[in-house]
Structure 1
Amino acid sequence: MRNILKIFILLGMISSIIYANGINRSIVKIYTVSKKPNYLEPWNSTVQRSTGSGSIIAGNRILTNAHVVANETFMEVKKYGDTKRYQAEVEFVSHDVDLALLKVKDKTFFKDTTPLEFDGLPNIQDKVTVYGYPMGGNTISVSTGIVSRIEHNRYVHSGQHFLSIQIDAAINPGNSGGPAISDGKIAGVVMQQIPGAQNIGYMVPVPIIKHFLKDIEDGKYDGFPQLGIYTEL
Structure 2
Amino acid sequence: MTRLARVIAGLFPHGVGTAAVTIGAAPQPWPDELRAVENAVPHRRLEFAAGRAAARAAMRAAGLAEAAIPMDDDRAPIWPSGMIGSITHAENVALAAVASLDMVASLGLDAEPDAPLPDDVLSEICDGEECAWIAGQAQPLRWARLIFVAKEAAFKCQYPASKTIFGFDGMRIGVDVERGALTAVFRRAIPPFSEAEVLHGRFARSAGLVVAGFVRQHD
Q: Same fold (TM over 0.5)?
A: no
Q: Which has the larger radius of gyration?
A: 1
Per the normalisation by structure 2, the TM-score is 0.27
Of Structure 1 and Structure 2, the greater helix share is in: 2
With CA pairs under 8 Å and 6+ residues apart, which has the higher RCO, 1 or 2? Answer: 2
